[in-house]
Chains A and B, each alone.
Chain A
Amino acid sequence: MVEYLEKHRRVFLLSGISICIIAIIFTISPNIGKNILSSGVSRIIAPVQRGINATAAWVGSHFSALTNNQRLITMNRELQAEVNRLEFENFRLSLAAEENAMLNAALNMHNRYAHLSTMGARVIGQDPSDRFRSFHIDRGANDGVQMSMAIIADGGLAGVVRYVNPTRAQFVSVLDSRFAAHVVSPRTEDVGTARGDTRLMSQGLLRMEHIEASAQIIPGDQILTSSSSSIFPAGLLVGEVVSVHTNPDGLTRYAIIKPAANVAELDVVLVVTEGFGEVGFRDTVDSEE
């Protein structure tokens, strides 16, 4: 076999290149060919990956427990203070929630966030690429995961499902430059588009673009998904504004947002199994800069 190919190197080279190009052309239009092979490969690779991930997590946790004792003591103290603060906050918020429920009832609205049905899933791997941030979860089409379902972690939007196999799914995180969502600041009702940004990705931040120059948005404002989003259910917490800047043209502004979900340490996430639009995995962006 190899001896035969050695004699016909040119044929070998040309046929290899043409097989790849045919595959590229075949997969660019319909998504059929990719899914067949993709699910086949992940059926083999997923259990291996899950095992290795579990081992790595186990080793990592034991290692850090041994070496970072002092750090853990300090952290414990800080966390205790945090718990006290949060208990107080919780009490304050419960009063606000009561008031909110009352007002909602008065306005005859229902709180969509509380009624969203979700499903737990475990992150089993990260894409082997440094240019994008996407993750694999151990739930797939067999468990009811579908394209463009939202992923929630730490109480905030963490990403959106990009494609699904029978046994697992891949989601694009909010930091990924392929992520885009229509968002709103509920305090000022300013709208914009939240997008992942390659430059901000390593700092764990993302951009909110296309904000009007007259917007009253300030650092500390919360950012939620907007009801004009064609993909996400309205009212999912995306994050908090860190800073606001005016674009060089002076016509629009953009904000830097710290996502509520800690993308660097995703472990268990929730898949929101309703309120998603089956039109892709990103909202349309009107004007690219």
Chain B
Amino acid sequence: MLRITTLATLLLLNFAIQASLLPHFSIMEVTPDTALVLIVSYAILRGEIEGGIFGFFAGLIQDALGGTVLGFYALLGFLLGYVCGKPFRDFFKDNYFLPFFVVLAACVVYQFVVYVTTVMFFAQADFWFYFRTILLPKTIYTASLSVPLYAFTYFVNSKLERLNDFV
């Protein structure tokens, strides 16, 4: 129960910050996708089942806040959490290089899927333009935030594990 409350607060806080504070810190007109980093970090720490559930709810909030279709980002988040959680069960969790590269790869794939499914239809931008102005800077910006955010998630998770509270 404590875990659920903590994670829900974390998610709501993240989206509130992402929607109001991060636009003030945009570089080259892009803001970092902190929700993606949280999903990947949590999936690496807790495996594909909890990663999938966490990703699902993170995506659901993003849908509710301004996605075009409810369930779209939820599906993306669910798959992201599931896929990122699967291969890393037996890795050392206090290695900070792993999440950096996973976030880098996840962000590229995620942005590409979003491009193929939404931007191509609604925004009428060609891929090279999209790659240059959004995908590349956003990936670099997001990946650069992955280490501190992973450290934060790691800290929160280890606190929760020490309290021995299982869902």
Residues of chain A having any CB pair with chain B under 8 Å: 1-2, 5-6, 9, 12-13, 16-17, 19-24, 26-28, 33-34, 37-38, 40-42, 44-45, 48-49, 52-53, 56, 60, 124-132, 134, 136, 170, 177-178, 198-199, 202
Contacts and interface: CB of A to CB of B under 8 A. Distances in A.
B16 A45 contact: yes
A27 B71 contact: yes
Tell me what chain A mostly uses at the interface: helix, strand, loop, or mixed.
helix
Interface of B: 12-13, 15-24, 29-31, 33, 35, 47-50, 52, 56, 60-66, 69-72, 74-75, 78-79, 82, 114, 118-119, 122-125, 129, 133-134, 138, 166-167
A177 B120 CA distance: 12
Contacts of B166: 2
A172 B114 CA distance: 20
Contacts of A2: 49-50, 166-167
B16 A21 contact: no
B21 A1 contact: no
Contacts, number: 135
B19 A131 contact: no
Given A13-B82, A52-B21, A130-B138, A1 B71 contact: no
B133 A38 contact: no
Contacts of A22: 71
A17 B114 CA distance: 17
Given A19-B56, A21-B71, A27-B70, 5 more contacts: A23-B70, A56-B21, A125-B16, A134-B66, A202-B29
